[in-house]
Every structure is written in structure tokens, then in C-alpha cells.
Amino acid sequence: MSAERAIAYIDGYNLYHGICDARLQSSRWLDLRELSRSLLKPQQRLVLVRYFTTMVRNNPPKAERQSTFIEALRAGGGIEVDFGHFLSKAVKCPGCGHEWAKHEEKKTDVNIAVRILDDAFDDRFDVAMVVSGDSDLVPAIESVHARFPDKRIIVAFPPRRQSAELKRVANESFTIGKGKIRSNRLPDPIITPDGITLQAPRGWLPASP
């Protein structure tokens, strides 16, 4: 019997904030391919990781750390990155009347939904593993079930992230354990195919003894 083809769809901000909420900041230098492989069953073969994120705005140090991480992920191949965007909207304090700009991440859930459906129609996977706790993905998963009943959807909740609705529509669901996060870190440093050296940002790996 041939192995089931699996694609991982990773909601970058959902995973990142779950890691931080679980106090796993020293494991942010995370190897998403190896993490995804470690979550699959023996009969399943990882064929691609799709990583969905939005580039940080108005904070150059954070943007630089994020860019370094994305380039480190790309250096090893086997991963495609889809970008959303931040939408700025005015927020007003009802008490004092002070106004400020609030930036909200947009399009990530839509991008994930479109990719899952596209890949299902193109028969690129037998199993889709969705790493997210965002219930906005429920309609896309339901659509895959309706149109492709032989394809399975697994939901892997990031630490401190849960959704009863996602759990309801998934063929299988579980929470990613802290041990999986800690044991699947990227090498440091990473040398890209172009010969560029990338080092983990300060605090993204445990301090050396």
C-alpha cells in the first residue's frame, strides 16, 4: 500500500501566539517541516508545507526577525509561504475620546481555505493537516468533505488554542504537545543556497549553558 500524501497548512500567527502563550518562546526557531512530519502517522508522507503569515509593519526589529525566520524556512525547501496583510482601522476610547490606529491581520483564513480547496481539486493530497485553532476555516473543511469524501482533514491545535467547531468537522484532531515544539528546532546557524548565514534571533532558542 502506498503512503498517504499529506500537506500541512500552518496558520503562522495562530501557531506563534500559541507558542508564546504556552511560554515556549525559546522554541520559536521552529522547523515547520520536521514538526509537521512528527505529527503524521507512519503511513502518511509529507509532500508540502504551506505556511501562512502576514509581514509585520511599523516595527523594524520584529520585521527583521520575522524575515530571518521565513528565509530560514525557505532555505531547506519543501515549504511555500502565502502572505496576508494588516488592515489599519481607527479605534476610539468611549471614555476619553482618544483615537489610535489598530492593525488587524487579514486574509490568512481566506488564503488557507483557498489553498486547501485548490489542492483538493488538483488531487495534491490524501490528508490535509491544518495547524490552527481558527474556526473561520470550518466552511472550507466542510466543502472538502462534501466534494471529496475520500480526503481526510486533520486539525492540529497549537498550544493554548482550541476550537470546538474545528474539532467537530475534522476527521481527527489533537493538540500539539510542548515536547513536539521543543524537539523540532531549526539548526543554528542556517546557510542558505546562496551562501547567506542566518542565525536565530535572540531569545528564539534556549540560552547556551
> Of the candidates 58, 81, 92, 77, which has an alpha carbon nearest to the alpha carbon of residue 192?
77
Domain assignment present for 149: yes
Here the CATH number for the domain that contains residue 153 is 3.40.50.1010
pLDDT digits (tens, 9 = 90+) for 92-111: 556 666 664 444 555 788 99
- Tell me the three state secondary structure of residue 175: strand
Task: Look at residue 56 and tell me if it is in a domain.
Answer: yes
SS3 label, residue 36: helix
Q: How far is CA 206 from CA 22, 176, 209, in A?
A: 15, 20, 9
pLDDT at position 183 is 97
Residue 206 lies in a domain: no
Q: From the DSSP assignment, how many helices (H) and strands (E) are in the chain?
A: 7, 10
Q: Per the structure, how many domains does the chain have?
A: 1
Please name the helix (run of DSSP H) or strand (run of DSSP E) that holds residue 50, with its range, or none. Answer: strand 44-53
pLDDT for residue 36: 98
In which domain, by residue range, is 175 found? 4-198
In a domain, 112, yes or no: yes
Q: What is the C-alpha separation between 196 and 189, in angstroms, rounded?
A: 10
pLDDT tens sequence across 4-41: 999 999 999 999 999 999 999 999 999 999 999 999 99
Cα–Cα nearest to 106, from 133, 85, 122: 85
Q: Which residues contact 3 (CB under 8 A, 6 or more apart)?
A: 43, 44, 45
**Which has the closest alpha carbon to 68: 203, 161, 176?**
203
**Domain for residue 204, yes or no?**
no
Q: Is 124 part of a structural domain of the chain?
A: yes
Give the pLDDT score at 93. 57
Whether residue 208 is contained in a domain is answered as no
Please say whether the beta carbons of 132 and 108 come within 8 A: no
Contact criterion met (CB below 8 Å) for 28 and 204: yes
pLDDT for res 30: 98
- From first to last of its 209 residues, the chain has per-residue pLDDT tens of 689 999 999 999 999 999 999 999 999 999 999 999 999 999 999 999 999 999 888 889 999 999 999 999 999 999 999 997 544 445 455 666 666 444 455 578 899 999 999 999 999 999 999 999 999 999 999 999 999 999 999 999 999 999 999 999 999 999 999 999 999 999 999 999 999 999 999 999 998 65
pLDDT score recorded for residue 88 = 46
State how far the Cα of 57 lies from the Cα of 108, in Å rounded to an integer.
16
